[in-house]
Chains A and B, each alone.
Chain A
Amino acid sequence: NAGVMQNPRHLVRRRGQEARLRCSPMKGHSHVYWYRQLPEEGLKFMVYLQKENIIDESGMPKERFSAEFPKEGPSILRIQQVVRGDSAAYFCASKQLTATWTQYFGPGTRLLVL
């Protein structure tokens, strides 16, 4: 019974490059959330998705960031033209459609922008 999977676990990019972060939810979970965590801070909500549908992207920066959760395959968080301020840990969480509001988190992707 695998938990939430994220890859890569660590990603290094130079300024201006693109970062693609992947998340596979727990089996049976159809809702995916992305959060960002800066050092020594709590997690900040970015986006909430269901299959083929963005439900809430109120925490997503308006430019350079996008997210998708296709019918098949993992959810993708894409950051274009990365800047040093994008360096952070990015966590994906998933939950069941009709279960409680409990979200289960993956191990995260640590993005370092040089």
Chain B
Amino acid sequence: GESVGLHLPTLSVQEGDNSIINCAYSNSASDYFIWYKQESGKGPQFIIDIRSNMDKRQGQRVTVLLNKTVKHLSLQIAATQPGDSAVYFCAELNSNSGYALNFGKGTSLLVTP
């Protein structure tokens, strides 16, 4: 069936470096994508979203890139900080046929000093 998956389950980066978290999706009809950050024991926290009519969107220290040709999504975090350590989920939705976000399994980001 259709699925959203992440390339790597864990990512370790040094403080100050840039982080790139990747996500592949298989539903070509998906038109809305969100990145969430989840810290231990907490709910997912919205980071940034992007619609399928865009290929790049920037926020504060974060950039989301969308490549519809290969159905790939990435989250770039600039100057990674210890507070960025968390599990990051991408989620996708087809706004024409459903209401539910389809989540991937998550990538654990560990920022080392």
**Chain A interface (Cβ within 8 Å of chain B)?**
4, 6, 33, 35, 40-45, 48, 55-56, 58-59, 91, 100-108
Contacts and interface: CB of A to CB of B under 8 A. Distances in A.
Interface of B: 4, 32, 34, 36, 42-46, 49, 89, 91, 93, 95, 98-106
B43 A59 contact: no
Contact of A108 (B43, B93, B100): B43
Nearest to A107: B43
Contact of B101 (A43, A55, A56, A107): A43
Contacts of A101: 32, 34, 49, 93, 95
Contacts of A42: 4, 89, 91, 103-106
Contacts of B103: 35, 42-44
Which 5 residue pairs of A and B lie closest in terms of their CB atoms, listed nearest first?
A45-B100, A42-B103, A105-B43, A43-B103, A105-B44
Contacts of B36: 105
B42 A45 contact: no
